[in-house]
Structure 1
């Protein structure tokens, strides 16, 4: 499941006590030697609610139309599946590319201001998507929507986290990190209900009033935070190099099957991606205030959490394209049946997230993350071995998607908290930014792999192609689960308050 999550590219230089968030009362006794759990103010919960709903909106739009890809393709004369696929991949490319820059802009002009601006542009892009006359216009509108989402994500957690006492931040980060991916998981079911009574354009359009409603709520609930006093120049070289690197990688994967993976054109595009990646990494280490602080990866907890985040993220977002396609095109389920069927995953994930985010405050996150990533591997392997031409929803499909949701909620929302335990408070923003950017970059690569490997998706003859993409997901998920067993150790005392 995704999303995914997490994010704050803005650099929260120092998290100071905020008026109204005193936790003098209501503290609990230490559990297993961990810090006492402090009380959380109502203001903090309201702010978390608004910020989380905004990330749900971004997550919803990342997968809502996955259930309607065939309908979208039919709506444009001459459009191919790859043309429509670029709309999905473009959303992830745009989000991953603009996230770091949006965070730095939030540092300069205000996090609430960027958050609110992102919501307004999101509403506008939803209207553009719903009224697009060509597939190219639709895809460009989706990229604009990605930029808007990238503006929302960095500032949302930065506005909320200072309101929570340290002992409760794992809960805050976990719930916030889960919001977007849960929105992505619920989206196909909600989209199915919309499609049952109207067309795919309405699926896009509903986000406009939702974004405006959240804008109104944000105006009254969220408070602006002081911007850091000393600002370096924007890392425009890093922004350009990072965008080209992600776009080139996705292009080589998706178009390579058309051009030929051994063709000169594919090789050139791939080479541009590699060179841009090298430039981005080199620049990030040299720039006084890079878009992504790669120096943080020298801390073991940050390195392990982000390695797992990237490897598992390849599957957790893009598998939501595969499941609806399989149910609709192989099992011939109706759109409504598909939407209701995939909803089992977010139900399991929601229960798991609420349960284990709170439990992690008491017993720690690493063990839960290891168990959760293992459950995701088991879930993907279940679908890889069980799904076939015979329709057996409750015995073949349902166990896999529910186990995946359970494992996802037990691990992915907590991974960001694992990384945060290894950094000082002044690096919380940069740590979240790194985590979120890698997650969306992984989603872009996973989506590209879907359209590159799943070239036939209808009928019994498509089963070997589904095996290919599920096998790819199994490899990526297994690598992520194994990476979770890299020894992390205990976070250095100097990073803990």
Structure 2
């Protein structure tokens, strides 16, 4: 990577523990809750809607969409805040806001209150996510970072994958409010231990000024584009209004690109994108994030609409796949320090494409879980375990220490936009009654194509030869 002027590096370390693992678990618990909450609500959504019977479906959709749009829009600005104002400070602020908003969600007496609480929850999640990864990176020596970041990514991937099954069980047992209350005990533990163990050392006199213009352009750009995607099938939005929203977003993003090239202290250093591996990893993240989201929701559509499983049954039925994420993430993380991430990214992408091909060809209208579904599920879990954590690790592998948070935030925001696109495509293809196996063929075709594109984009990725000196 081209040389970068080092700005006040922020080191977050354990004050009393030589081992970096306590720091890892403090950071990872918070990210686990964010990922869990993001997908758990998809299982709880029907129950939440039943709790507000006088509210329209369009208004209820904002319980999901407000979180998605705000989270995507805030990730990169939050990464900039963490890099310039302290990772521990921003992390603890994010955890506190996320927990307070989770409690407010569970106590919501009307949809307006619930949507407002979800917006606050999204801001808290965006603040803690990039700060969490930069904390993990700083806690580990360079030789162990690949494994640590892969495991960090696997924790988030596992939480996202088990969210619907856990959510459906919790909602069935004790009601939809507990989909939010579940965050409180583990989140409080992360907050308590983080305040005690994390120590921040930086030079206040060298703090950069906040790039308010860049932050505003980025929030408007990403937020408007995400809004135009998530509302693409909403009847209350006309094509003209969606086109205007998308246009405003694109103009704001172009303005942001121009601004960072002339601003004295930009939110995102443009030299971040001069590294070939970083650019290809982000493009691959967009493709894989879209494919992962499509596959994930297609599972539930198929199980409930074609095989007529209940939602808890469907949630349990997909569990074996996510259980493979952690072991394969640990394996790839251990070997990536010597081999680089490319073999796991390319190989995992190809395995993931095979899983899409399996689901395209094998399942039918008759329930045959062990022979027609489980093998494809194991293939998909293996592919996700190899690719998803490795993308997070490869994205930050070459970055200097002072760009950990914003660099990871760009990658996470890219994945979030891919997820938004995947949900929109899935709803477009499957959002109707009377689904059959044939209804899923176009979606699985997209799944295979995006997985192959992911593998192709990862061919130029090189994280093996150089050592990160940041």
What is the TM-score normalised by the length of structure 2? Answer: 0.89
Deviation at 1:293, TM superposition (A): 3.1
Deviation at 1:134, TM superposition (A): 3.3
The alignment partner of 1:233 has SS state of coil
Residue 50 of structure 2 is aligned to residue 74 of structure 1 = yes
Aligned with residue 131 of structure 2, among 140, 155, 158: 155
Deviation at 1:448, TM superposition (A): 3.0
The alignment partner of 1:133 has SS state of coil
Residue 453 of structure 2 is aligned to residue 482 of structure 1 = no
Question: Structure 1 residues 292, 376: closer, same or farther in 2, change over 3 A?
Answer: farther
Q: How does 1:284-295 map to 2 (within 5 A)?
A: 284-295=260-271
In structure 1, C-alpha distance between the alignment counterparts of 2:86 and 2:400, rounded to whole Å:
22
In structure 2, C-alpha distance between the alignment counterparts of 1:19 and 1:152, rounded to whole Å:
18
In structure 1, C-alpha distance between the alignment counterparts of 2:65 and 2:287, rounded to whole Å:
17
Deviation at 1:492, TM superposition (A): 7.3
1:422–1:492 CA contact under 8 A, matched in 2: no
Residue 341 of structure 1 aligns with which residue?
Answer: 317
Residue 431 of structure 2 aligns with which residue?
Answer: 455
Q: Which runs of 5+ in 2 are unaligned?
A: 1-5
Q: Which has the higher mean CA deviation after the structures are superposed, 434-443 or 103-112?
A: 103-112
Question: Structure 1 residues 254, 493: closer, same or farther in 2, change over 3 A?
Answer: closer
Residue 172 of structure 1 aligns with which residue?
Answer: 148
Deviation at 1:16, TM superposition (A): 7.0
Question: Structure 1 residues 396, 295: closer, same or farther in 2, change over 3 A?
Answer: farther
Q: How does 1:212-361 map to 2 (within 5 A)?
A: 212-226=188-202, 229-258=205-234, 263-317=239-293, 319-361=295-337
2:365–2:436 CA contact under 8 A, matched in 1: no
Residue 104 of structure 2 aligns with which residue?
Answer: 128
Deviation at 1:308, TM superposition (A): 0.7
Residue 372 of structure 2 is aligned to residue 396 of structure 1 = yes
2:47–2:171 CA contact under 8 A, matched in 1: no
Aligned residues: 465
Question: Structure 1 residues 418, 190: closer, same or farther in 2, change over 3 A?
Answer: same
Aligned with residue 141 of structure 1, among 101, 117, 120: 117
2:103–2:184 CA contact under 8 A, matched in 1: yes
In structure 2, C-alpha distance between the alignment counterparts of 1:186 and 1:132, rounded to whole Å:
25
Give CA deviations for 1:119-139 in whole Å, capped at 9, x if unaligned: 221111112222223334323
Question: Structure 1 residues 337, 256: closer, same or farther in 2, change over 3 A?
Answer: closer
Deviation at 1:222, TM superposition (A): 1.9
In structure 1, C-alpha distance between the alignment counterparts of 2:112 and 2:426, rounded to whole Å:
20
Residue 443 of structure 1 aligns with which residue?
Answer: 419
The alignment partner of 1:256 has SS state of coil
Question: Structure 1 residues 260, 188: closer, same or farther in 2, change over 3 A?
Answer: closer
Residue 390 of structure 2 aligns with which residue?
Answer: 414
Deviation at 1:289, TM superposition (A): 3.1
Deviation at 1:236, TM superposition (A): 2.2
Q: Which runs of 5+ in 1 are unaligned?
A: 1-10, 22-40
What is the TM-score normalised by the length of structure 1? Answer: 0.84
1:254–1:449 CA contact under 8 A, matched in 2: no
In structure 2, C-alpha distance between the alignment counterparts of 1:74 and 1:465, rounded to whole Å:
28
In structure 2, C-alpha distance between the alignment counterparts of 1:12 and 1:312, rounded to whole Å:
32
Deviation at 1:260, TM superposition (A): 10
In structure 2, C-alpha distance between the alignment counterparts of 1:438 and 1:319, rounded to whole Å:
18
1:454–1:468 CA contact under 8 A, matched in 2: no
Give CA deviations for 1:293-344 in whole Å, capped at 9, x if unaligned: 3432221111111111111112224543332233223322123312211211
1:12–1:425 CA contact under 8 A, matched in 2: no
* Alignment RMSD (CA, Å): 2.9
Residue 189 of structure 1 aligns with which residue?
Answer: 165
Deviation at 1:54, TM superposition (A): 1.0
